[in-house]
Amino acid sequence: MKKVCISGSGLFTPAEAVSNDELVATFNRYVADYNQQHAAAIGAGETSPLQPSSSEFIVKASGIRSRFTVDKTGILDPQVMRPRIEKRGEGEPSLMAEMGAAAALQALENAGRKPQDVDSVLVACSNLQRPYPAIAVELQALLGTRGFGFDMNVACASAAFGVQTAVDAVSRGSSRATLVVSPEICTAHLNFRNRDCHFIFGDAATALLIEPLENSLSQDRFEILGTRLQTQFSNNIRNDFGFLNPSEQPPRRWDEVLFRQEGRKVFKEVVPMVAELLLSHLADLGIAPAEVKRFWLHQANLGMNQLIAKRVLGRDANETEAPVILDEYANTSSAGSVIAFHKYHRDLAAGDIGVLSAFGAGYSAGSVVLRRL
Ligand code: COA
């Protein structure tokens, strides 16, 4: 089995950002309009009035201050409250493939590689804009990579599952180099009219190039010391959008097939699951938690990440040890931990250990232990 490394990473960030204040202003306009339209029913006690949102709550409960998105105008229009995306013809690249290609080209450049050096492309993300042809196969054509590509979905943990799949292929020699690409248009599966979660998500795309250590040309690389994955069924985060929706009787309402969660339960149940996964993985690799210099954690909730790092280290972690990008990007699902890795790895010294961990719906969680070369 060949030793394997991450030899390059890439990030695509959409041009438009939406602040909490902008988002809350639209939400509260919608609430005021709704309550006015239903004033008689509310007055008669037949309907409950909707409650306003607040930026203070969002920052306090989640740590999120802003998010990037593929379309700000639609999201902030109280009559629309969703991103509006121009329908593209079959001859044009899909939006997800286009975002993924931007991140992938950057990862290749950082690794000193050309698309022809790559044998496989995995698109690993939460939401795929169509079932087939696979976005990964489209991306393969757009980039000009060789071999094969396929899509995989393990929700917010997708990138970690993609890395393990890539490691398996590259270490056994069935792929000379594999791109793990995570394009996420999370704002399109978010109900911007739901006060509990309207602030949660943002859009972005990431890419990692995985190749054998012995072949790598990169000066900026991390050996993958080990990967470990875990899943445990839960209904606490669900997305029921699917091809059976039109056939179901009675049909589901539009807001029943968007993202929803029991945020508090998720927080309580996922923190111990991930902390135990990281501790057992490090122990089996013979690495003491105190040796870990950096945690690139899934970016959903600041308090959750602080607690996970604390449980692993046995003390509070500072922002250098567990960098935060969710304040600026919000939850970008599978892209989040890779954005943290992409932005915060260059200062590590040779030999330093870092752990990339992605977790979310399923539940699903992954641990990738890395050593800076
Ligand atoms: N503005 C103002 N108040 C709000 C609000 C909003 N937008 N949304 C909810 N509230 C209120 C609630 O009504 C509740 O009021 P009450 O105490 O009077 O009943 C209170 O704030 C607390 O609500 P709750 O939903 O319990 O908040 P929370 O502290 O659990 O934070 C999340 C909510 C979603 C930010 C948090 O639970 C979370 O991030 N969990 C982890 C989720 C996760 O990791 N998911 C993975 C997805 S991939």
Between the CA of 331 and the centroid of ligand 1 the distance, in Å, is 14
Between the CA of 264 and the centroid of ligand 1 the distance, in Å, is 7
Look at residue 349 and tell me if it is in a domain. yes
Q: Which of 5, 156, 186, 197 is catalytic?
A: 156
Domain tally, the chain: 1
> Residue 15 and residue 351: Cα distance in Å, rounded?
36
Residue nearest to atom 48 of ligand 1 (CA): 360
Candidate of 266, 306, 327, 331 to mutate for ligand 1, largest count of ligand atoms within 8 Å of Cβ: 266
Instruction: Report pLDDT for 338.
Output: 98
Look at residue 310 and tell me if it is in a domain. yes
Look at residue 335 and tell me if it is in a domain. yes
Please give the share of the chain, as a percent, with pLDDT higher than 70: 100
Look at residue 139 and tell me if it is in a domain. no
Look at residue 212 and tell me if it is in a domain. no
For the question of residue 197 being annotated catalytic, the response is no
170 pLDDT band, cuts 50/70/90, is very high
Instruction: Report pLDDT for 14.
Output: 98
Look at residue 280 and tell me if it is in a domain. yes
Look at residue 145 and tell me if it is in a domain. no
Question: What's the CATH number where 341 sits?
Answer: 3.40.47.10
Instruction: Report pLDDT for 179.
Output: 98
Domain that holds residue 255: 222-372
Note whether 224 and 210 are within 8 A (CB): yes
- Residue 368: Cβ within 10 Å count: 27
State the pTM of this model: 0.97
Look at residue 273 and tell me if it is in a domain. yes
Instruction: Report pLDDT for 286.
Output: 98
Q: Note the pLDDT tens digit of each residue in 222-275.
A: 999 999 999 999 999 999 999 999 999 999 999 999 999 999 999 999 999 999
Which atom of ligand 1 is the closest one to the Cα of 197? 34
Instruction: Report pLDDT for 290.
Output: 97
In the chain, beta strands by DSSP E: 4-12, 16-19, 66-69, 120-124, 148-152, 178-185, 203-212, 222-231, 237-238, 260-261, 292-297, 353-360, 364-372
